[in-house]
Amino acid sequence: MSTPSSAGWYENPDNPEELRYFDGILWTKNTTPLRKRPHQGPPVVPPSSGPQQRPAGWGPQPHQQTSRPEPRSSSAVQTGLSGQPVLAPYGLRVVAYLIDTLIVGAVSLLLGGWFLWKSIEPVYDRFDTALAAGDIEAMSAAISEARLGYLAAFLGLQLVVLLAYQVFFLKRWSATPGKLAVGISVRRLDRPGPLDTDTAIRRAGFQAVVQALGNLPYASLLGTVLVVMDLVWPIADSQRQALHDKVAKTIVIKGKVQR
């Protein structure tokens, strides 16, 4: 059976005795029995030599044209589920990503700015002097004296902020503030409705792990490649899923997720 082109009730490809709801992207778990009328032959009328008046309700009257009931289309059955979802354009996703990145960065600086300052405090004056003089070697030497322990603490706090930010808003509204600002949201690929906690954690956790790899000395190249791939993957994907969508089995749609 071919995949329907719009949302509605169709014959279940797994069971021809029932109807199954297709939400525009995937088959849902909602089914209903396919009610079929039993076949009835035409009523038997005793032979008569002349016209005979039939009792009321006994089939169609002579010379009276009957109209056959039109078959119900797939959209004739009303349901409480949302209609066919519209996938969010890539441009809106990029804008939402930039907004969320700015918010996470601002909150991280507010909560962990002290750690960041302590990490660069010993080299601030030396680096500024070397920069003014254009001495590349002196700048490299100044950077090497940064307190890596404080820097690691700041980066770790930033990952915690990112994870908490994503999970809280995805679980609460199925959208981060950036996505809410541009009118898009996140839903499960296999069913409509708001995200559950496990899906929100898997989606945000992948992004946090990729960012953590970008901060590690020997894995930064791999982390950078994964970040770029995650950003551009929806361009060529048929369902516009990023890599973190693949991991969490989610899609990003226009509008709010129906509860």
Task: For residue 259, give the 3-state DSSP assignment.
Answer: coil
Count of positions (residues) in the chain:
259
Segment 118-166, tens digit of pLDDT: 777 767 666 666 566 665 665 566 565 666 677 778 888 888 999 999 9
The arithmetic mean of pLDDT across residues 14-33, rounded, is 81
Backbone angles phi, psi at 30, to 5 degrees: -80, 120
pTM score, two decimals? 0.59
Backbone angles phi, psi at 153, to 5 degrees: -65, -40
CA dihedral 6, 248, 93, 215 (to 10 degrees): -170
* Band (250; pLDDT cuts 50, 70, 90): very high
Whole-number pLDDT of residue 139: 57
Q: Tell me how many degrees the CA angle 22-27-32 measures, rounded to the nearest 5.
A: 70
List CB contacts of 146: < 8 A, sequence separation 6 or more. 119, 120, 122, 123
Per the CB < 8 A criterion, the answer to whether 13 and 20 are in contact is yes
Segment 182-204, tens digit of pLDDT: 999 999 888 878 888 999 999 98
DSSP run (H or E) holding 126: helix 124-133
The arithmetic mean of pLDDT across residues 162-191, rounded, is 91
Whole-number pLDDT of residue 125: 61
The residue ranking higher by pLDDT, 55 or 175, is 175
C-alpha pair distances (Å), 186 with each of 10, 125, 138: 26, 46, 48
Residue where the block lists tokens 């038997």: 44
